[in-house]
């Protein structure tokens, strides 16, 4: 019985090592490229920022215009005793137009401020596109990991189930001890629990991915192939163009907007104007008349108003510059950390592909041969196969984490996958 059972055991182990992951049927596979496209098409935040940018652009046109003129109509000096337009020489009909002119170049600076705010929203829209792609890629890769992990564990479960049956047969014939049987049963129970937990993690990751796609109720299985990303450019190149990042562009636009606010505050030291033009009509053949006048604001008490507004706007401009500098420092830190993570994971991935995974497979194969030649026990075969399972899971984890780190770097460079 023992001589027959060991080749059978070896057959199952070889099938486990050679068969590809389980292919789920009846589901249209979701590729990373399709996920990115669906996310971009259904993202509401990008549309929101675009709408805000368009609104500010329209407002900038209005802000550059003079205030609407005011028209006045009136009747003057009508006798109270006998209302008539012709009885008294002073009675007249008048019409006037008044146009206010803000101080200095206030309108120009106000329009420039609103235009800068429009540019900030445009930059935020571009940043949202980058951030969305990065989030979708991270979710896709995590879902891919959990799905492939389930495949590996299920294949391992099939193998361990067969090993358990063989062990039970050998135990019933006295060819193995109770310890081997208990170990096999315990490993199988633990593996079932791990499969349940991994399936739950997969469902959670897939739900997170579908959230980005705007399809929370239509979960889909991922494509079997691992989607590679474009290689990021060198770190020095990204750092040299860091000020072109949308987040930096948004902060720079805010700095320009605050600068326009300072300029408007300085213009308030100049007088505002109001121009009046009037026409008076008198009846009875009397002469009509035309009147014109100019009204000036006198900003002579500037210490409590103009000085305070200028000081406040300058402090706001300083705050905007500090925010810009802090944003650059944060981006630089994320860039350095991202490159360090990507480089380290790349080295680990090479080690798994060239050394660890082949060695684990060789170890499992040697353990199997030794078991078939009666020079190793059942526990050695079990340990070798479980080690191979863990190595495959770890290699998959490193591959996925390396892809996530690469996606982070592509977010900085603004490159597509």
The confidence band for 18, taking pLDDT boundaries of 50, 70 and 90, is very low
| Predicted local confidence at residue 181, as pLDDT | 74
Question: What global pTM score does this model have?
Answer: 0.81
What's the confidence (pLDDT) of residue 333?
Answer: 96
Residues 207 and 334 in one domain: yes
CA distance 171 to 178: 7
Q: Are residues 297 and 393 in the same domain?
A: no
Instruction: Quote the pLDDT of residue 222.
Output: 86
Say what the pLDDT of residue 105 is.
94
At residue 245, the pLDDT reads: 95
Render pLDDT for 95-148 as a digit per residue (tens, 0 to 9): 999 999 999 999 999 999 999 999 999 999 999 999 999 999 999 999 999 999
Question: Going by C-beta distance under 8 Å and a sequence separation of 6 or more, which residues neighbour residue 236?
Answer: none
Domain end, chosen from 251, 280, 302, is at 302
Averaged pLDDT of the chain: 86
In the chain, % of residues over pLDDT 70: 87
The residue written with tokens 């337009």 in the block is: 85
Q: Residue 172: is its pLDDT beyond 80?
A: no
Query: Where would I find the beta strands (DSSP E) of 192-304?
Result: 273-281, 289-296
Q: Are residues 37 and 144 in the same domain?
A: yes
Place of tokens 């009747």: 75
Same domain, 233 and 369: yes
The number of distinct structural domains making up the chain is 2
Pairing of strands 70-76, 273-281: unpaired
The answer on 228 and 144 residing in a single domain is: yes
Both 244 and 146 in a single domain? Answer: yes
Cβ within 8 Å of residue 154, ≥6 positions away = 22, 195
pLDDT score recorded for residue 142 = 96
pLDDT tens digits along 260-277: 999 999 999 999 999 999
Residues 118 and 186 in one domain: yes
Regarding whether 46 and 17 lie in a shared domain, the answer is yes
Supply the pLDDT for residue 364.
84
Together in a domain, 58 and 79: no
Q: Are residues 227 and 280 in the same domain?
A: no
Given 302, 319, 344, the domain boundary residue is 302
Domain that holds residue 90: 68-101+269-302
pLDDT at 279 over 80: yes
Q: Among 37-46, 167-176, 364-373, where is mean pLDDT lowest? A: 167-176
| HEC per residue, 135-188 | HHHHHHHHHHHHHHHHHHHHHHHHHHHHHHHHHHHHHHCCCCCHHHHHHHHHHH
Q: pLDDT band at 1, cuts 50/70/90?
A: very low
Return the bridge partners of 291, or none.
278
Query: Do 7 and 145 share a structural domain?
Result: yes
* Cα distance between residue 389 and residue 281, in whole Å: 102
Show which of 247, 282, 302 is a domain's final residue: 302
Confidence category of residue 390, pLDDT binned at 50, 70, 90: very high
For position 78, what pLDDT does the model report?
77
Per-residue pLDDT at 15 exceeds 70: no
Contact assessment for residue 49 and residue 125, using Cβ atoms and an 8 Å cutoff: yes
C-beta of residue 36 within 8 angstroms of C-beta of residue 136: yes
What's the mean pLDDT in 362-372? 81
**145 lies in the same domain as 273:** no
Rounded average pLDDT over 22-43: 78
Res 255 pLDDT > 90: yes
Q: For 297-331, how does the pLDDT look when each residue is reduced to its tens digit (9 = 90+)?
A: 888 888 889 999 999 999 999 999 999 999 999 99
Identify the pLDDT of residue 8. Answer: 47
Domain harbouring 280, CATH code: 2.20.200
Instruction: For residue 71, name the pLDDT band (cuts at 50, 70, 90).
Output: very high
Position 415 scores a pLDDT of: 67
Q: pLDDT tens for residues 142-171?
A: 999 999 999 999 988 887 787 777 777 767
Give pLDDT, residue 176: 65
């Amino acid at each position: 019985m023992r001589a027959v059972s060991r080749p059978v055991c070896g057959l199952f182990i070889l099938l486990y090592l050679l068969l590809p992951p389980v292919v789920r049927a009846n589901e249209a596979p979701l590729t990373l490229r399709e996920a990115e496209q669906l996310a971009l098409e259904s993202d509401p935040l990008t549309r929101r920022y675009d709408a805000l940018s368009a609104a500010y652009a329209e407002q900038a046109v209005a802000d550059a215009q003079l205030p609407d003129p005011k028209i006045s109509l009136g009747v003057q000096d009508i006798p109270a005793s006998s209302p008539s337009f012709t009885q008294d020489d002073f009675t007249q009909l008048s019409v006037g137009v008044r146009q206010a002119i803000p101080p200095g170049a206030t309108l120009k600076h106000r329009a420039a401020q609103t235009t800068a705010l429009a540019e900030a929203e445009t930059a935020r829209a571009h940043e949202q596109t980058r951030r969305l792609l990065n989030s979708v890629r991270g979710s896709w890769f995590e879902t891919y990991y959990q799905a492939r992990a389930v495949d590996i564990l299920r294949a391992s479960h099939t193998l361990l189930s067969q090993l358990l049956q063989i062990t039970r047969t050998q135990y019933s014939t006295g060819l193995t001890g109770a310890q081997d049987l208990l170990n096999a049963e315990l490993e199988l129970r633990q593996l079932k629990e791990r499969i349940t937990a991994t399936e739950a993690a997969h469902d959670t990751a897939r739900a997170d991915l579908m959230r980005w796609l705007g399809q929370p109720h239509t979960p889909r299985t991922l494509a079997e192939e691992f989607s590679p990303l474009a290689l990021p450019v060198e770190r020095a190149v990204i750092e040299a163009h860091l000020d072109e990042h949308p987040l930096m562009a948004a902060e720079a636009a805010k700095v320009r907007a605050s600068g326009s606010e300072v300029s408007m505050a300085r213009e308030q030291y100049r007088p505002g104007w109001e121009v009046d033009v009037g026409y008076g009509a008198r009846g009875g053949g009397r002469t009509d008349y035309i009147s014109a006048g100019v009204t000036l604001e006198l900003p002579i008490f500037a210490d409590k108003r103009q000085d305070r507004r200028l000081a406040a706007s300058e402090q706001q401009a300083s705050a905007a510059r500090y925010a810009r500098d802090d944003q650059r420092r944060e981006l630089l830190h994320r860039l350095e950390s991202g490159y360090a993570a990507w480089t380290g994971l790349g080295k680990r991935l090479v080690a798994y592909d060239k050394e660890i995974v082949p060695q684990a497979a060789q170890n499992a194969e040697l353990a199997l041969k030794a078991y078939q030649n009666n020079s190793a026990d059942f526990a050695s075969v079990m340990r070798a196969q479980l080690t191979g399972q863990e190595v495959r899971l770890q290699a998959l984890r490193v591959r996925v984490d390396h892809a996530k780190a690469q996606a982070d770097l592509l977010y900085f460079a603004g490159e597509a996958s």
